Amino acid sequence: MDGVTTAPFDVARIRQDFPILSQPQARGRPLVFLDSGASAQKPRAVIEAMVRCMETAYANVHRGAYRLSELATDAYEAARAAAARFLNAADAREVVFTRNSTEAINLVAHAWGRGVMQPGQAVLISELEHHANIVPWQMLRDDKGNELRVCRVTDAGELDMEDLASKLADGKVGLVAMAHMSNVLGTVTPVERIVALAHAHGAKVLLDGSQAAVHRRVDVQAIGCDFYCFTGHKLYGPTGIGVLWARLEHLDRMPPFLGGGDMIASVTFERSEWAPPPAKFEAGTPAIVEAVGLHAAIDYVTAIGMPAIEAHERALVDHAMGALSEVPGLTLLGRAQDRGGVFAFAMDAAHPHDLATLLDRAGIAVRAGRHCAEPLHARFGAENGTTRASFGLYTTKEEVDLLARALIEAREFFR
């Protein structure tokens, strides 16, 4: 495929695949993009694949009895097969396309939580969670009365496994829903241990892989979970496309999330019969072009190699821990032993939004706020929020050093 980089890992060469990284910013400064945790930049391979689809092979899928529709359907289903391979799913029918991870979690909360879980069962989450993995379970609790339990996080920002075990001990937890990697602390949770412990107590497991799937190879069969989700726009793909993987036996048991075209086998005014998974959960015209873009993104990172990406980012994390620890007045949230390239920090002399604004004047794009994780910020006494730098496969050690120097200059400015 044109525009796909192959091993060995060469970050300078990879950066050439991303057109936006060569665009000058304010006052002619180069772009230092450190907000990939929110949404990553797109390689030329993704951009060109989507344009090519719209120019040469676009039509609605699954419905047309003409060649163009068949080509579009083949491309759409090829994206599903690529997502299944990416996760090492046993069957492509276990892959449901959603708009994003948020919709995927809501789908499980609606279809599994309301359709399969029993009234006396609880949902167990953790203090690490993004709002997308908190609010749907609060809505389930308020609607159906299912208890919502929260596992503690240690001062280092790691999951408290003793607390997890204690909250599973009574056997009443029906579902454990947790982040594979924190979008604030960068903590990578011990998912195999979580799954084994949950299953031993009769609970199913949903993992939010929005951050982890970008940084590490994910093998749902090896992990052993029941549900896994990630979103395309963080994986160097387009917005508007996400993936929910679920064991086929679970999808068979779950009622539909949305009703309409393409998710039915038949319809009369008296009743409707559902199509088999995954069509049962994909009502209406899907994100066709976006699926093509997701396929290109998966091919892109697969060609580079997830182990190579992980090794690059581990080196970046080690470098950043050293560089940021030397910035006066800077407090890092969390120091987990196993972590990815996400750093949230507070500076004694500046509000997070003011700090982010000043960094932007230096051409450095970071995020400020509570990053859709208010409870986690409250847990660490950072109610005013933090500034967050998050890395992508195109991030360099030189950019980390630029950030550290800019933070030192910013502290002097605010003081």
Tell me the catalytic residues: 372
Query: Among 73, 85, 81, 166, which residue's Cα sits nearest to residue 122?
Result: 166
Contact predicate 178/129, CB 8 Å: yes
pLDDT of residue 64: 84
Q: Which CATH class is domain 11-41+305-414?
A: alpha beta
Strands, sheet with 367-369, edge to edge from the N-terminal-most edge strand: 330-332, 342-347, 386-390, 367-369
Model confidence at 5, in pLDDT bands (50, 70, 90)?
A: very low
Query: Does position 205 have pLDDT exceeding 50, yes or no?
Result: yes
- Residues 248, 366: Cα–Cα separation, whole Å: 39
Query: Does position 126 have pLDDT exceeding 60, yes or no?
Result: yes
Return the C-alpha torsion angle 45, 46, 51, 56, nearest 10. 80
Q: 3-class SS at 205?
A: strand
CA distances from 339 to 29, 184, 316, 320, 335 (A): 30, 11, 11, 12, 8
How is 330-344 classified by DSSP, letter by letter?
A: EEES---SSB-SEEE
| Two domains, one topology: 11-41+305-414 and 49-302 | no
Instruction: Give the single-character DSSP code of 256.
Output: P
First to last CA, the chain: 51
Query: Does position 255 have pLDDT exceeding 70, yes or no?
Result: yes
Percent of the chain past pLDDT 90, that is, above it, reads 93
Tens digits of residue pLDDT in 279-316: 999 999 999 999 999 999 999 999 999 999 999 999 99
- Residues 281, 189: Cα–Cα separation, whole Å: 29
Q: What CATH number does domain 49-302 carry, 3.40.640.10, 3.40.50.10490, 3.30.200.20, 3.20.20.70?
A: 3.40.640.10
Evaluate the CA torsion angle 214, 312, 387, 18 in order and state its sign. Answer: negative
Domain extents in the chain: 11-41+305-414, 49-302
pLDDT of residue 26: 63
pLDDT of residue 378: 96
